[in-house]
């Protein structure tokens, strides 16, 4: 019998600069107890029970970066199972933010916010599995991807996705 699947619902957003050459990333170095300490990541977080997934993404970006998305697209979903130190299951909705209002903050509660060249994003210290789906976030294919990325705590065990 399959184990019960009750993933943590979350968002992950990648905010493009107006020239579309850079992406705003969080460098997570402010809290030593952070499971993602020392890694770069997009901006996002847990969905609350009183919001839809787009409202969650907008709220998280406002909270963490101090800006408001004005144009964004759902690029895909990723189902992480057995992820991180606690071996949790996560289902993330991955957004690309094409336009925003306001001026990005210098830092969030997790660490400094930094503009990074899109073509250099996979050279940063990231979760190993992020290297599988990030090219799909930034490619020109308009179809959303839906990926499965099982983990054994901190290590990906495989990667598959569907895009139709």
- What are the pLDDT digits (tens) for 123-147? 999 999 999 999 999 999 999 999 9
Give CA torsion, residues 136, 154, 33, 5, to 10 deg: 80
> Nearest 5°: phi and psi at 144?
-70, 150
Domain-by-domain residue ranges, the chain? 9-153
Measure the CA–CA gap between 14 and 45, rounded to whole angstroms. Answer: 13
CATH class (in words) of the domain with range 9-153: alpha beta
Regarding pTM above 0.85, the answer is yes
For 42-77, write each residue's pLDDT tens digit: 999 999 999 999 999 999 999 999 999 999 999 999
């Amino acid at each position: 019998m399959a184990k019960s699947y009750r993933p943590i619902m979350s968002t992950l957003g990648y905010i493009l600069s107006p020239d579309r050459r850079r992406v705003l990333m969080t460098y997570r170095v402010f809290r030593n107890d952070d499971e993602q300490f020392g890694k770069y990541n997009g901006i996002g977080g847990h969905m609350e029970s009183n919001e839809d997934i787009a409202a969650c993404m907008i709220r998280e970006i406002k909270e963490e970066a101090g800006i408001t998305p004005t144009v964004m697209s759902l690029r895909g979903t990723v189902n992480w199972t057995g992820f991180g130190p606690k071996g949790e299951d996560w289902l993330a909705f991955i957004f690309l933010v094409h336009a925003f209002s306001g001026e990005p903050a210098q830092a969030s509660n997790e660490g400094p916010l930094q503009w990074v060249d899109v073509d250099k994003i996979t050279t940063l210290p990231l979760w190993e599995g992020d290297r599988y789906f990030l090219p799909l976030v930034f490619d020109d294919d308009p179809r959303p991807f839906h990926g499965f990325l099982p983990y054994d705590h901190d290590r990906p065990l495989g990667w598959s996705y569907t895009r139709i």
